[in-house]
Structure 1
Amino acid sequence: MENSKVLQEDFEYILNSEVDFNKFKNKTILITGATGLVGSLLVKTLLYANETRNYGIKVVALIRNKDKADKIFKEYKKENLSYLIANLGKNEIEYSGEIDYIIHTAAVTQSKLMIQKPVETIKTAINGTEELLNLAVNKAVSSMVYVSSMEVYGQPYITDKVKENDLGYIDLTSVRAGYPESKRMCELLCTSYSSQYKLNVKSARLAQTFGAGILPTENRVFAQFARSAVNGEDIVLHTEGKSEGNYVYTADAVKALFFLLLNGESGEAYNVSNEDNHMTIKEMAEMVIANFAKNNQQKVVIDIPKENLGYAPDVKMWLSNKKLINLGWEPTISLKESYRRMLDNIY
């Protein structure tokens, strides 16, 4: 059973939400990227549901590293958890059992890797997603969700809130463009499989997702801010912090993915974001210092390096979540509360 009180509260929040978890009883659900932040929380939610509600859900976790997975899931009973060890996109997936649902979260998520290994970033995304789509067709799954990213929007052409059909400009001469462009292609593969093979698959464009459940190895900006605050250090920005961030709390994102499995329309894409959790990187840094700093000497410092380390270009974008809310999903956790719950869970 999960030891963390904060995560237990999050799982209860998800299981008592607008998602009808009764429909997952005694089903088999494949989660890819199961040792990542979102993937691991999807798996833990299902295992928690089994332990507290006897749902009998069989969870298949697609991973690359068994030792890492064992550490992440060490507090849970394993009888309904099995590992599928494979490198996505290399036709290594072998699974003889039935699969009812798939949530595909696996992807390269580190900006430095996107710069250092752009070819692998693209191939893993496209070949891996094709592999999962073929598996979904062969297993005749009830539903599949592909986890995309808000980065597919690039630089939007509009100044209003960005809806799902408001795709913007991506500079194809930028090496880092391999990530958002391959995400676009993966979404198009999903649309194509929906059309040609009648596969019930939809895409979820996640805003920046964080909160309770981040892993000790997490090094994205929200984790860096949190560590700096509680360690009594200044928050150092390596850009001017003008990019506008769109955020969603981990539990709100997890329930959105389960909700889309059951309610999303095939071939469609949905923004998963909390419109209230929108601010610039600098504003977020200042909010963290104001609310969570260890002492009143801490501040936000801007230190821009000479060389480009893979930072995404400044983005001016406010994601609309109306399409998903109109389906019946509702995010409720604020940005400040997201940080509080994340910090309470770590420290």
Structure 2
Amino acid sequence: MPTRNHYRKTWLVTGGAGFIGSHLCDRLIEAGDGVLCVDNYLTGSRDNIAHLLDHPHFEVMRHDVTFPLFVEVDGIYNLACPASPIHYQRDPVQTTKTSVHGAINMLGLAKRLNVPILQASTSEVYGDPEVHPQTEDYWGHVNPIGTRACYDEGKRCAETLFFDYHRAHNLEIKVARIFNTYGPRMHPNDGRVVSNFIVQALKGEDITLYGDGEQTRSFCYVDDLVEGLIRLMNTGPETTGPINLGNPGEFTMRELAVKVLEETAASSQLVHEPLPADDPRQRQPDITLAIQKLDWAPRVALKDGLKPTVSYFWQILQAQ
């Protein structure tokens, strides 16, 4: 059983072989800390952490967070959960269990160890918002019985559990509401708009716009997001969140498609398909709290973040 290292902090990162989780593992190791990466590889990949496997302060454990975990660590980043519609709708019951049972198990571990725990929540808790941009005090507009509810309501319930553990047990919690994040190590078939557009463009296929293409999203480069997560974890016990972490720059899907075409120099055409059920019309984080509490704001512009992301997908496609 992994034991706590008394010379540096050891962090448990659930979902550590995933897109965001693997970048977080990188940053924690670079900072000189130890990492216990836990993943069941449902959507994560050992390829994302292959470069860390021989590092003396990095451990990996194949484990599903819906089952209890007994380890010794100094803090927990709970990122375990499929995060794209194509993945979380494949087994919606398991998705809800991962958010809810996973939260219960990780909160129980944090309570036993008396260590801080950070929940990777999501902008999906706002649903199809009636408030724009979204602030943390907005309760959301979510369909509780729709096809996206397994993820949306699962994450909302996880937030409930975190704050109940905080109130009932004085547990130190941190809740980050993550808005659309992109960058290298995204799954090429995850159905997210950035990966979809880039892969379609690189393959010379038409780029699919859903609806009229005027729905908006805000895209945060993964390095900026990870910096925000670490800053939130390093705040004092009085800072619980929830805190929005995302890039407030707002783009329509059509604008994103044009930027991808420019970056890939592709000749793809834009085609339209019906809008999926409960797909939000607009998303934009209000990051006032993150600026005030964390001294954090994203630095990487969309055009700059697309360059390494396109390069990553090009390498992936070339290897296939």
Pick the aligned partner of 2:205 from 233, 236, 243: 233
In 2, distance between residues paired with 1:304 and 1:155?
17
| Contact in 1 for aligned 2:199/2:313 (Cα 8 Å) | no
* Map of 2:110 onto structure 1: 136
Pick the aligned partner of 1:318 from 277, 280, 284: 284
Structure 1 residues 307-347: Cα deviation after superposition (integer angstroms, max 9, x where no partner): x6xx5423223210111011211210011111112123444
Match of 1:168, SS? coil
* Map of 1:8 onto structure 2: none
| Contact in 1 for aligned 2:176/2:244 (Cα 8 Å) | yes
Stretches of structure 1 lacking an aligned partner (at least 5 in a row): 1-23, 50-54
Pick the aligned partner of 1:342 from 305, 309, 316: 309
| Contact in 2 for aligned 1:28/1:99 (Cα 8 Å) | yes
Q: Which amino acid aligns with 2:301?
A: S
In 2, distance between residues paired with 1:190 and 1:226?
36
* Map of 2:318 onto structure 1: none
Residues 317 and 110 of structure 1: is their aligned pair in 2 closer, same or farther, counting only changes over 3 Å?
closer
- 1:88 maps to 2:65: yes
- 1:125 maps to 2:104: no
Structure 1 residues 33-85: Cα deviation after superposition (integer angstroms, max 9, x where no partner): 01110001111222334xxxxx2x2210011249x754332223331111232
Q: Which amino acid aligns with 2:28?
A: L
Pick the aligned partner of 2:86 from 102, 109, 112: 112
Q: Which amino acid aligns with 2:112?
A: N
| Contact in 2 for aligned 1:154/1:167 (Cα 8 Å) | no
Pick the aligned partner of 2:263 from 281, 292, 304: 292
User: 1:300 deviation in Å?
Assistant: 1.5
Residues 113 and 227 of structure 1: is their aligned pair in 2 closer, same or farther, counting only changes over 3 Å?
closer
- 1:30 maps to 2:44: no
Q: Which amino acid aligns with 2:104?
A: E
In 1, distance between residues paired with 2:223 and 2:118?
17
* Map of 1:199 onto structure 2: 171
How many residues end up aligned between the 2 structures?
305
* Map of 1:103 onto structure 2: 77
User: 1:192 deviation in Å?
Assistant: 1.2
Match of 1:268, SS? coil
| Contact in 1 for aligned 2:16/2:37 (Cα 8 Å) | yes
RMSD (Å), alpha carbons: 2.3
Match of 1:162, SS? coil
| Contact in 1 for aligned 2:183/2:221 (Cα 8 Å) | yes
Match of 1:267, SS? coil
Q: Which amino acid aligns with 2:154?
A: S
Match of 2:13, SS? strand
User: 1:185 deviation in Å?
Assistant: 1.0
User: 1:215 deviation in Å?
Assistant: 4.5
Match of 1:282, SS? helix
Give TM-score scaled by structure 1 length.
Answer: 0.81
In 2, distance between residues paired with 1:144 and 1:172?
27
* Map of 1:176 onto structure 2: 148
Pick the aligned partner of 1:332 from 257, 281, 299: 299
Residues 236 and 216 of structure 1: is their aligned pair in 2 closer, same or farther, counting only changes over 3 Å?
closer
1:166-315 mapped onto 2 (5 Å cutoff): 166-215=138-187, 218-263=190-235, 265-276=238-249, 278-289=250-261, 291-295=262-266, 297-304=267-274, 312-315=278-281
Stretches of structure 2 lacking an aligned partner (at least 5 in a row): 1-5, 315-320
Residues 331 and 213 of structure 1: is their aligned pair in 2 closer, same or farther, counting only changes over 3 Å?
same
Q: Which amino acid aligns with 2:180?
A: Q
Structure 1 runs, 4 residues or longer, greater than 6 Å off: none
| Contact in 2 for aligned 1:286/1:299 (Cα 8 Å) | no
Match of 2:299, SS? coil
